[in-house]
Amino acid sequence: MPQSNENITLEKVPDLELIVFDLDYTLWPFWVDTHVTPPFRKTSIGEIVDAYGQRIKHYLEVPLVLQQLTAVGYKLGVASRTSAVEEAKQLLTLFDWRKYFLVSEIYPGSKITHFNEMHRKTKIPFSKMLFFDDEHRNIKDLTAKGVVSILVENCVDLQVVKSGINQFAKKRTQE
């Protein structure tokens, strides 16, 4: 039986100013450019479906993660290399998540480009950012730039994010 994360709470730590999430296989369990078919819509019972009526789900705890992080004062961002830019944005809107994200860089290319743009827009240094992604190459690239980067192996949930925040805090105390 899976471990329950219901008693985990996320807390604000010094110097962490921006938490950034990838989308595909980080906040939801699919590639938006290949596994689902637009247009997407919300049904009368509140489910999100694609053009074929296939139900589109996010990882279970993502709404709670976004709510808790925002409630304790974190700024959030999205960085995605998807080629399905408008579709990804549409899903963020249908899931009602756009309100959580201060910055959103969704387009093909390097995650370094995404983070350079986030830095330009927010003036937040890389050393005060935390990043969650499911791809090793992105973790490697951003770690080299000074971003504390966490490889997401299964999904984003409260435990993964709490662990990432703890890793950020530990790294900051070692500097």
Question: pTM for the whole thing?
Answer: 0.94
Supply the pLDDT for residue 98: 98
How large is the average pLDDT for residues 116-131?
98
The dihedrals phi and psi of 105, each to the nearest 5 degrees, come to -115, 100
The Cα–Cα gap between 150 and 144 comes to 13
pLDDT of 175 reads 66
> How far is it, in rounded angstroms, from Cα 60 to Cα 37?
21
Q: Is residue 6 part of a domain?
A: no
Q: Is residue 117 part of a domain?
A: yes
Any domain includes 156 = yes
Of the candidates 164, 163, 170, 166, which has an alpha carbon nearest to the alpha carbon of residue 20? 164
Distance in angstroms (rounded) separating the CA atoms of residues 124 and 52? 42
At residue 3 the predicted structure's pLDDT band, cuts being 50, 70 and 90, is: low
Q: What CATH number has the domain bearing residue 165?
A: 3.40.50.1000
Model pLDDT for residues 12-71, shown as the tens digit of each residue: 999 999 999 999 999 999 999 999 999 999 999 999 999 999 999 999 999 999 999 999
The pair of three-digit structure tokens given for residue 93, joined into one six-digit string: 């809107």
Residue positions annotated with a catalytic role = 22, 24
Mean of the per-residue pLDDT values for the chain? 95
Is there a domain that residue 9 lies in? no
The domain tally of the chain equals: 1
The token duo for 12 is 């604000």
Query: Could you read off the pLDDT of 127-138 as tens digits, one per residue?
Result: 999 999 999 999
